Amino acid sequence: MARELTPVVSHYAVIVQATYRDTLTATLALRRAVHAFVAAPSEAKLVTARQAWLAARERYALTEAFRFYAGPIDNGSGPEPRINSWPVDESFIDGIIGRPGAGLVNDRSFTIDKKMLSAANVRDGEENVAPGWHAIEFLLWGQDVSASGPGERSYTDYVASKAPNAARRGRYLQVVTDLLVDDLTDVLRAWAPDKANYRRQFVREGDESLRRIIVGLGMLTRSELAGERLEVPLASQDQEDEQSCFSDNTHRDIVGNARGLQNVWLGRYTRLDGSVVEGLSLHELVAAKDAALAEQLTQRMAQSIVLAEAIVAPFDREIVGDASAPGRVRVRRVVDSLVQQAAGLLDAARALGMQRLNWAPKS
Amino acid sequence: MKAGQQVHEWRRAWLRGLALLASAMALACASGVAVAGAQPPAASQADAAFVRNIYAKWYVPRAAEFAEHAPRLAASLDGLCQSDSAGAAQAMEAARAQWTRTVQAWETLSAVRGGALLARRSPREIDFTPTRPAAIQRAVRSAPADSRAMERVGSPAKGLPALEWLLWTQPVRPQSPECRYAYRVAGEIEAESLALQQAYGLALQQGWDAQEVEYAIYEFLNLFDAGIQKLWWEDMNRPQQRAATGARAASFPRSASGTTVQMWLRHWEALRRLAIADMAAPESLSLQAYLVTKDHPDEAGRMPALVAEVDRAMADLREAKDEALLNRRIGQATASLKALQQFVEQDMAHALQFIISFFDEDGD
């Protein structure tokens, strides 16, 4: 392993651990809010739980820059499908307009516990999502049938005297939130310092780990964010292709992903408590080979964030219209910037002497 | 001479022939793309010739074929919509036959989705899968009157898969709103085909500077690799896995029209033609010849066996008479395609020093 890689790879692990730690902290706050809401449902407590979801989600979006290289989150047996599967067929979870008795919530033969909900996930179809961020989101907001705002689920859906299966709905919400905490805890454990875990091996395998870091950045930039999360909804103009469709929070998912990419590139992360984690970065490694290229990529990443922040919520309205519709133009600008960003990452990889950056399905 | 030596001698002679062929191709084509005022090194000439060939011998003629069929598809839909009850069945048959021919041309052109196909995101525009029937029904109700109105219709309700749904799954009736919508969809496909034809022709006319040549080769090699992966993963293995979990929408592409295997064979035939040199056609374009030009005869020599394995497996698919047998044989096809992909990503990428990278269809 080249000597100069060690501190860069080590610091990457520090950033990963800090970001997952903050995500878990925010998700624990979500769990407290959810349990308080289910214990005594009220409009105020529902709003608090929704705000906690939004805050935790803001952190989680940053962590997606640590995906796509078969790390602890998505290595085949990793928990990512339980954490963040989408799109969600909401009728698999609970009743919807026209089918009020649908879903696992209303199926009294189904036992609502962690084991059963894990087993039910994507059973009989990829959209049959049972746990994870978007299951919780649906349970907090409900279906989004409004053109101008998010779902408008009433807190009374959780009040036994006012809605069928309210207690089961509450239990479902609690269990999937607990499951999310468990899964994030496991991922964090894999990145804990000074343990015999994935992180230790990752730091040891400097060259290969550096490749993984760039694969993660490139895949999220081009294939997932620009491709699946922006170009597909641009093409389809369909809410079905919007990630956080119940809460209308997709615009923040996009910004969070773009910021997570920048955090890795610059080796800099501002924690929940405001403290800043800084250290040797990929940017510095590339700059040592090609300073102009590194600077260009830094600017491009900043530009991608600015353009992502310009997307106007709700995203499902932003993608609709003819080619000149202002929302579509705004989203297209983000795509174009991300495509340039991916090209810059490719150049960076070449500057570092790498040859293979793709992802191949295992099966 | 022992049998093994005989084979060895034959292979060397064959590779020498291939090398001469490739050199001749490089010299013949390089003059048209040399950068004015500077004679590029031999390797650059070969690269420039290869890029020019990709366009002159592949994309431009394949785009022309697609642009020839797509207007006929629109015309056949028009004929169907105008037909009376006596001629409806025949008109439907003609429209279906023309859809099949158009998709064949599309599968060939889009097997390697480089250049204008990538820049215009054409596959997402006119070949979005899976079809979303509810989106099509909404689009029919909106009765888009012109191309501007069609811009407001999402891709899952347009393109070749949507037309397949309108011709086979819920066959349109003449004089109906559904038929008028299908005609509009065909018009969009025609417009895209003409735009692609124009874009590839313009690219060839304008040529490439040295940096553009480097990028064009990188793009082509990566998307050739992606074309192999699309066939075994997106088209075959993934739907099979979805079907195994009982997913509601699990089916192979083009299954409504019964042309699944036919189109897989088209896709493979396109990749095959780009992979292997045709000794009977000295002007042909191939990665194998390019490898020889770049002085990698060993890698070039390994390609025919890998391609032959895929040929055999794909031929077996054609012979599969029922779905159970097809499902079993898909395993052989994916294994041989994966072996070819592994060769491209490891041996060929190493030999040609190109980076295998991320493209827009790799997400989860």
- pLDDT per residue as tens digits for the range A21-64: 999 999 999 999 999 999 999 999 999 999 999 999 999 999 99
Which of B341, B358, B361 is closest, CB to CB, to A342? B358
**Taking the mean position of all CA atoms in its chain, how far away is CA A362?**
22
Residue B39: predicted pLDDT = 39
A278: three-class secondary structure by DSSP: strand
Answer yes or no: is pLDDT of A171 > 50.
yes
Residues of A in contact with B247 (CB under 8 A): 124-126
To test the contact with chain B by mutation, choose from A238, A319, A329 the residue with the greatest count of B C-beta atoms within 10 A, namely A238
A248: three-class secondary structure by DSSP: coil
Which of B121, B132, B229 is closest, CB to CB, to A360? B229
Q: Describe the crossing of helices A166-190 and A5-39 by its angle, rounded to 10 degrees.
A: 160
Residues of A in contact with B154 (CB under 8 A): 235-238
Residue B280: exposed, middle, or buried by beta-carbon count in 10 A (0-12, 13-18, 19+)? exposed
Stretch B237-260: mean pLDDT: 80
Percent of chain A at pLDDT exceeding 90 = 87
Nearest CA to CA, how far is B132 from chain A (Å)? 10
Residue A358: predicted pLDDT = 58
Contact with chain B for residue A16, Cβ under 8 A: no
Contact with chain A for residue B316, Cβ under 8 A: no
CB contact under 8 A, A357 and B355: yes
Residues of A in contact with B363 (CB under 8 A): 219, 223-224, 227-229
CB contact under 8 A, A358 and B155: no
Instruction: Give the tokens for residue A287.
Output: 């700059």
Residues of B in contact with A342 (CB under 8 A): 358
Give residue B251's pLDDT band: very low, low, confident or very high (50, 70, 90).
Answer: confident
Cβ A308 vs Cβ A334: under 8 Å? yes
> Which conformational region is residue A321 in: left (phi greater than 0), alpha (psi within -120 to 50 degrees), or beta?
left
Residue B245: predicted pLDDT = 66
Residues of A in contact with B130 (CB under 8 A): none
Residue B34: predicted pLDDT = 30
Contact with chain B for residue A316, Cβ under 8 A: no
Which of B135, B233, B247 is closest, CB to CB, to A124? B247
Give residue B111's pLDDT band: very low, low, confident or very high (50, 70, 90).
Answer: very high
Q: What is the tens place of the pLDDT at every residue in A282-333?
A: 999 999 999 999 999 999 999 999 999 999 999 999 999 999 999 999 999 9
Stretch B257-284: mean pLDDT: 89
Task: Please report the residues numbered 107 through 146 in chain A whose beta carbons come closer than 8 angstroms to any beta carbon of chain B.
Answer: 122-126
Residue A127: predicted pLDDT = 86
Answer yes or no: is pLDDT of A1 > 60.
no
For residue A194, the number of C-alpha atoms closer than 13 Å in the C-beta half-sphere is 0
Q: Are β-strands A268-270 and A276-278 bridged in parallel, bridged antiparallel, or unpaired?
A: antiparallel
Stretch A233-240: mean pLDDT: 93
Answer yes or no: is pLDDT of B362 > 60.
no
Nearest CA to CA, how far is A47 from chain B (Å)? 32
Residues of B in contact with A68 (CB under 8 A): 364
Residues of B in contact with A132 (CB under 8 A): none
Give residue B35's pLDDT band: very low, low, confident or very high (50, 70, 90).
Answer: very low
Contact with chain A for residue B247, Cβ under 8 A: yes
Residue A54: predicted pLDDT = 98
Answer yes or no: is pLDDT of A268 > 90.
yes
Give residue B283's pLDDT band: very low, low, confident or very high (50, 70, 90).
Answer: low
Residues facing A50 on adjacent strands: none
Nearest CA to CA, how far is A354 from chain B (Å)? 7
Give residue B335's pLDDT band: very low, low, confident or very high (50, 70, 90).
Answer: very high
Residue A44: predicted pLDDT = 98
Give residue B50's pLDDT band: very low, low, confident or very high (50, 70, 90).
Answer: very high
DSSP letter, residue A106: G
Give whole-number Cα distances, B22 to A279, B42, B152, in Å.
51, 13, 48
Residue B5: predicted pLDDT = 35
Answer yes or no: is pLDDT of B250 > 60.
no
Q: What is the pTM of this model?
A: 0.87
Place of tokens 């075994």: B232
Residue B247: predicted pLDDT = 54
Give residue B115's pLDDT band: very low, low, confident or very high (50, 70, 90).
Answer: very high
Residue B32: predicted pLDDT = 32
Between residues B245 and B218, which one has the greater pLDDT? B218
Task: Please report the residues numbered 248 through 307 in chain A whose beta carbons come closer than 8 angstroms to any beta carbon of chain B.
Answer: none
Nearest CA to CA, how far is B170 from chain A (Å)? 21
Percent of chain B at pLDDT exceeding 70 = 84
Which of B153, B155, B357 is closest, CB to CB, to A357? B357
Instruction: Look up the ipTM and state it.
Output: 0.83
| Measured torsion, CA atoms of residues A9, A10, A14, A19, in degrees rounded to the nearest 10 | 20
Which of A164-168, A325-329, A354-358, B142-146 is the least confident region?
A354-358
Which of B12-16, B154-158, B335-339 is the least confident region?
B12-16
Among candidate residues B284, B283, B343, the one with its CA nearest the CA of residue B309: B343
Nearest CA to CA, how far is A347 from chain B (Å)? 10
Give residue A125's pLDDT band: very low, low, confident or very high (50, 70, 90).
Answer: confident
Answer yes or no: is pLDDT of B216 > 80.
yes
Answer yes or no: is pLDDT of B249 > 60.
no
Stretch A159-180: mean pLDDT: 98
Task: Please report the residues numbered 200 through 229 in chain B whose beta carbons come closer than 8 angstroms to any beta carbon of chain A.
Answer: 222, 225, 229
Residue B197: predicted pLDDT = 98
Q: In terms of CA atoms, which chain B residue is nearest residue A363? A: B237
Answer yes or no: is pLDDT of B144 > 60.
yes
Residue B282: predicted pLDDT = 64
B207: three-class secondary structure by DSSP: coil
CB contact under 8 A, B128 and A235: yes
Q: In terms of CA atoms, which chain A residue is nearest residue B341? A: A360
Stretch B93-121: mean pLDDT: 97
Residues of B in contact with A346 (CB under 8 A): 355, 357-358
Residue B29: predicted pLDDT = 36
CB contact under 8 A, A361 and B156: no
Which of A126, A321, A350 is closest, CB to CB, to B242? A126
Stretch B114-135: mean pLDDT: 93
Q: Is the dihedral of CA A339, A343, A346, A352 positive or negative?
A: negative
To test the contact with chain B by mutation, choose from A355, A357, A362 the residue with the greatest count of B C-beta atoms within 10 A, namely A355
Instruction: Give chain B's mean pLDDT.
Output: 85
Instruction: Give chain A's mean pLDDT.
Output: 94
Residue A236: predicted pLDDT = 94
Residue A355: predicted pLDDT = 67
Secondary structure E strands in A244-344: 268-270, 276-278
Residue A286: exposed, middle, or buried by beta-carbon count in 10 A (0-12, 13-18, 19+)? buried
Long-range contacts of B170-173 (CB under 8 A, 24+ apart): B170/B133, B171/B92, B172/B80, B172/B81, B173/B88
Residues facing A269 on adjacent strands: A277
| Measured torsion, CA atoms of residues A61, A127, A313, B127, in degrees rounded to the nearest 10 | 110
CB contact under 8 A, A357 and B249: no
Q: What is the tens place of the pLDDT at every residue in B184-211?
A: 999 999 999 999 999 999 999 999 998 8
Contact with chain A for residue B134, Cβ under 8 A: no
